[in-house]
Structure 1
Amino acid sequence: MSTSTNHIGRKISRIRELRDMKQEALAQALGTNQQAISIMENSETIEEAKLIAVAEALGVTPEAIKNFSEESAINYFNNIHDNNFTNSNGAIAQNHSCTFNPLDKLMEVIEENKKLYERLLQSEKEKIAYLEKLIK
């Protein structure tokens, strides 16, 4: 489906799909029903007030809907991919920036578990001693 034309309904439909939103969700956000959204997405033009409400529900500007094209969306996502996920050699970049050493955190958890186990073991020993005392 090409959105290079000025068919506002198709553009709304495409943006909604890219935002992983169903017609029912958009209808609920606009206080209408799914059938009204379907009719709107099949309309070539939409009144400005409704366009503003739809844009707000989709989290975009009315201009973004008016100027939307598949090509610009593809370029946008390709640029994000190129800038964030690959380094200058084309290899996938690791964007992890831990502020702590994960192994240190793991050792802390192990030590904490060991202390809890020792406390539990001591508690069980005290319980056994108390029960033995009661039996005698």
Structure 2
Amino acid sequence: METATKPNHIGRKISRIRELRGMKQETLAEELGISQQAVSKIEQSEKIEEEKLEQIANVLGVPPEAIKNYSDEAVFNIMGNTYHDNASSLNYACTFNPIDKLVEVYEENKKLYERLLKSEQEKIAYLEKLMK
């Protein structure tokens, strides 16, 4: 079954982008200085004024053209092309052992502390020598 949707329904596009950004209507309304009901009405509108679109785009953190050209299909294509079940192919896969890094930092701090302590001992010895 096919759903008949108007391809350039700006309100729906705003709604989808808002949802993808994890933003509630109330938050968008607050940022725009309008009521939640007004946001709901905007999201039901097929067209909106250019100035209002720019304000909404600014709050959503996207350019107005991104709202005008938004398409669910493009989003799913991007997701399909970048996500794989193989964890090693993900961009945020860890390339080092965090425990090794922690031990490395601990050893560096220990060496730094030892150098600082030695420096302080040398200062004390020098001051004692001056006092004699």
* TM range, smaller chain: 0.5 to 0.7
For 1:129, the equivalent position in structure 2 comes to none
1:47-105 superposed Cα distances (whole Å, 9 cap, x missing partner):
000000100101111111001111011112223325xxx6xxxx32162134x761463
| Structure 2 residue runs without a partner (length 5+) | 111-132
Structure 1 runs of 4+ aligned residues shifted over 3 Å read 1-4, 106-109
Percent of paired sites with the same residue: 48
For 1:93, the equivalent position in structure 2 comes to 88
For 2:113, the equivalent position in structure 1 comes to none
Report the TM-score when normalising by structure 1. 0.64
| Structure 1 residue runs without a partner (length 5+) | 113-136
For 1:6, the equivalent position in structure 2 comes to 8
Q: 1:2 to 1:31 in 2, by over 3 A?
A: farther
For 2:117, the equivalent position in structure 1 comes to none
For 1:102, the equivalent position in structure 2 comes to 99
Q: 1:50 to 1:60 in 2, by over 3 A?
A: same
1:93-123 superposed Cα distances (whole Å, 9 cap, x missing partner):
162134x7614635949xx9xxxxxxxxxxx
1:3–1:11 contact (8 Å) kept in structure 2: no
| Number of matched pairs | 102
